[in-house]
Chain A
């Protein structure tokens, strides 16, 4: 126990190696100990990662090649039939792959002005309070909030108000529009902070330099503010896109079974029809699509913004 503190103090002992033989022995045992400490600190996250992510993923992959037991569930087999059947859920894939990117885009379009207002136009003493307000929706249950939107967008809500000003026969609930409105509402608090951070650390003198060189405010925004805020937009979009791709509560509530996502298909397959192997194949397809999309998206964003190294300097 007494040796623990010096062990930590001497973790830099490597550099002194060779100068004194006595130091060498000390630094070897201490580097071993520092490795042990590192391993212990990483253990919780590592174990979590292995047992709750990699192992389940392997199980899902294994199941996806199996067959459905007569009473539901899984029997070991090796067949690609589940993957051949994927087009049967084409509608869910189509909805997810159109509405998730569109929802992400809309959320970014709503979030950017908010983040800009907070980071650039708001005096520092109000910023924290307003940022907390952006987060405030998270204080209540997600179910409750979507339920509220169900009523607002339902036929006795917004459409009946619109009917009073002459816009009759407007249907919102159970349409893709309702899902998109819900996406913007639900994911805005996740999109605003990353954009806020990148705008907040943007050097305001760069905006002055741009104006000084003759750029109108609009051009300054397009040529300086936007490119430099791109990393924040990318982070926020990634976060929202991943969660939206896997969402099933939002389409359940606001799509009402008419507009359903892959998530809803999975709930159906695993819990209702108990076709686990097919559900597993749908899951694998979802993960694969996400992986490929994110990979190309990040490559695109990184090629567009070369501020990575600037941020490190």
Chain B
């Protein structure tokens, strides 16, 4: 990634609603062309952040920059960003084509009719909805409405496309398809995408970078791999992927070991060489997940923890039953000592 300038930047942005601090003193820079996700549970301030970028909310203090220009206090209709709303917010009284061309028709001077028609056709083709222009939005399925909302925003070539939990209303299968489609779309159009979600899998699978928020503050920003491998604290490790925590002696720190980093074998001697921990454990539960089997095991010293055994190791070493006494171990580099916050 080159050192391209930020398309959107938060400088010490705080947003208060009465006594509630929704966003606290945030600095955030979105790089041109990247796919950034803001990840956090509901109420963490991620949607408020997005709304401040769109211009629906103004910060209580701090500044917002778009393409290097200070836009603090500038209303939504004068900002070069567009949003895909959670429930799409398509205009029910307009056809699909009129929804998509809405942004172009607000321009001053208004583009020529032929130009608008051509842009609409292009935008609909981009989201694979050729020939749907005359339909009404309520005649479309959820996935199709989603794509109309995307076309309606992207036709304006925004500096940043803001996506507010865009996949939350779709069913599981469709959500996976749309994840891939969104990623491809972002690569094709080269527009910066900023997505807000509470779904860690969604954030990790689609984004170049993920920004984890908690109670109005940014906890960590980094590539999905960085967040997974080098979480800054217990919260991030817990939110991003699955992990086991073992409390330290003081309580100020925890030991985190990802379940797929733990090896299991029929007995301690059958474990591979070079492990730093080797423990006899008892199998408490087993969940078959397809490519993995998730075991819950317990050791006398450390208590219960989770192990992910890949299908490959099962084929070599076999499947263990509930109640079996087996062994578990891990390498030194699997251990992460994290602040217990």
Contacts and interface: CB of A to CB of B under 8 A. Distances in A.
B77 A214 contact: yes
A250 B203 CA distance: 67
Contacts of B90: 209
A216 B87 contact: no
Contact of B136 (A214, A305, A310): A310
Contacts of B103: 213-214
Contacts of A224: 91
B77 A212 contact: yes
B268 interface: no
Contacts of A307: 92-93
B93 A205 contact: no
B107 interface: yes
Interface in A84-115: none
Interface in B262-277: none
A310 B138 contact: yes
A309 B140 CA distance: 13
Interface in B86-112: 87, 89-93, 102-103, 106-107
A210 interface: yes
B91 A206 contact: yes
B93 A215 contact: no
B78 to A, nearest CB: 8
Contacts of B78: 214
Interface in B104-122: 106-107
Contacts of B190: none
Contacts of B81: 212
Interface residues of B, number: 27
B89 A228 contact: no
Given A211-B77, A212-B82, A309-B136, A219 B92 contact: no
A212 B138 CA distance: 21
Nearest to B76: A211
B152 interface: yes
A306 interface: yes
A243 B54 CA distance: 47
Given A205-B87, A212-B76, A309-B138, A228 B106 contact: no
Contacts, number: 75
A42 interface: no
A209 B93 contact: no
Interface in A273-313: 305-307, 309-310, 313
A268 interface: no
Contacts of A223: 102
A305 B137 CA distance: 14
B80 to A, nearest CB: 9
Interface string B34-74: 00000000000000000000111000000000000000000
B83 A209 contact: yes
Interface residues of A, number: 25
A73 interface: no
Given A219-B106, A306-B136, A212 B91 contact: no
A169 interface: no
Given A309-B138, A310-B136, A310-B138, A211 B93 contact: no
B85 interface: yes
Interface string A206-238: 101111111111011001100110000000000
The binding surface of chain A is classed by DSSP as helix
B138 A209 contact: no
Given A212-B76, A212-B83, A206 B136 contact: no
Given A211-B77, A213-B156, A205 B106 contact: no
Contacts of B131: none
Given A205-B85, A209-B85, A214 B107 contact: yes
B4 to A, nearest CB: 25
Given A213-B82, A309-B138, A310-B136, A203 B93 contact: no
Contacts of B83: 208-209, 212
Contacts of B153: 212-213
B75 interface: yes
B99 to A, nearest CB: 9
A85 to B, nearest CB: 47
A305 B87 CA distance: 22
A149 B83 CA distance: 52
A215 B106 contact: yes
Nearest to B86: A205
A213 B77 CA distance: 6
Closest 6 CB pairs of A and B: A310-B92, A214-B106, A213-B103, A209-B89, A211-B76, A205-B89
Interface of B: 54-56, 75-78, 81-83, 85, 87, 89-93, 102-103, 106-107, 136-138, 152-153, 156
22 contacts: A203-B89, A206-B91, A206-B92, A208-B83, A208-B89, A209-B89, A209-B90, A210-B102, A211-B75, A212-B54, A212-B83, A212-B153, A213-B77, A213-B106, A214-B156, A215-B77, A219-B106, A224-B91, A305-B93, A306-B136, A307-B92, A310-B136
Given A213-B156, A310-B138, 19 more contacts: A208-B54, A208-B83, A209-B83, A209-B89, A211-B77, A212-B56, A212-B82, A212-B83, A213-B103, A213-B106, A213-B152, A214-B106, A215-B102, A223-B102, A228-B93, A307-B92, A310-B93, A310-B136, A313-B138
